[in-house]
Structure 1
Amino acid sequence: MDTGELLKSIKVGEKYEVITTWHGVPVRIKQKVRWVSVSDRLISFDFSDCKFKRAFSNEKVYVRLGELYLECDIFSNIRDELVLYVNMVSPPPPVVMREFVRVEPSESQPVYVSFCAGEDCIVSAKAVDVSESGVSVMLSKEDVAKLFSMLNSAEGEAYHKTFSMVIKLPEESSISALGELKNILNKDEGIYFRLGFKIELKPADLKKLRSYIMKRQREIL
């Protein structure tokens, strides 16, 4: 079924699930359709009773139609109406497939991640986001070089290597983790790099991290 046929199948007055993320936190709500323009590829939702309007600003939005999803951009979000422009039929979005909720730490209360060799922590950085199973950090080119030097590895050889990590949570004692490098993204023309790690935690430390994530979700929403 193509995009036009799916738009024609949407019924005005019925509620559909609308999905996005806000600072890494999944937002999944059901809202009533006001009108649909098949030719303009637009869907209007009644947002008069929506408590999460601010979440619908910059991120992609997905409308669920049974087992299918429409990937959308926000056309307008004014007062009590959300209008979406439909790009295409999409597979389930990452927020639906993700096993654990990922949150972005606040600027005023950052999460710090340190990479250690023995008892010496040679690189420390703010976390970009964190979940029960992973953490991402932004490092300068120089700090990335230090990290790879610690492993005696070049960039292409560092994937799936493990690091000892110390994660400092706001208002909590530090927790220890074993991190496996999963991805490296080049940012700002090679000046900064975003590194993503899969992490393993002891039960007591996992409990602390889970508590922080739940608290941060409440703050964000």
Structure 2
Amino acid sequence: MYTPRAFAENDLTRLDRLVAEDPFVTLVTSDAQGAPFASQLPVLYRRSGDDILIEGHWARPNPQAGHGAHALLIVHGPHAYVSAGSYPDKEPAARVPTWNYATAHLHGSLERYDDGDALADLVLRLSDHHEARTGGDWRFDPQEPRFRSQLRGIVGFRFVPERVELKFKLSQNHPAENRNAVAATLEARDEDGAQAVAALMRANES
């Protein structure tokens, strides 16, 4: 990922927050011919110090379940358009529009499995986690034969990152007056993404 020094991050607590806000990631692998292949997947995330584990599953027919071990996992943070009109120095500095955003690219290895007990545990934890996030009350019953039989239709994975790239492009390359003006403009927009980016910008200043 192209990451100018001003936008590079190395604080893994910022990755924690990105995944907590949006645990629906893009997983990229290569097929036998070297062509890239991407899937969008819900995941579970756990970190202890520098050690990270990400878990999820594919539908069994998904060809990605048979690709090689190396993968790129992309975490999508908030993003928002920034108009050049937001900058107080737009005329003398000949400012142009841009896009502010946060994202993470994790490079590492996949471990696949299709053991029934391990898959049941994964689906139980996935569903409990995401039901709790959204206020739902459905629960996977690993002993229910109808649910258990459906596990044959999925393949689980564990992903261990070997390299983490964090990019928070939040107008750090602009003077404070511009950063404050952009954050205020984004805060005033009735868009979740714009307000989330503004919150990141304010946190960056503190």
The TM tier, using the shorter chain, reads 0.3 to 0.5
TM-score normalized by structure 2?
A: 0.37
| Structure (1/2) with the larger strand percentage | 1
TM-score normalized by structure 1?
A: 0.34
Higher relative contact order at CA 8 Å, sep ≥6: structure 1 or structure 2? Answer: 2
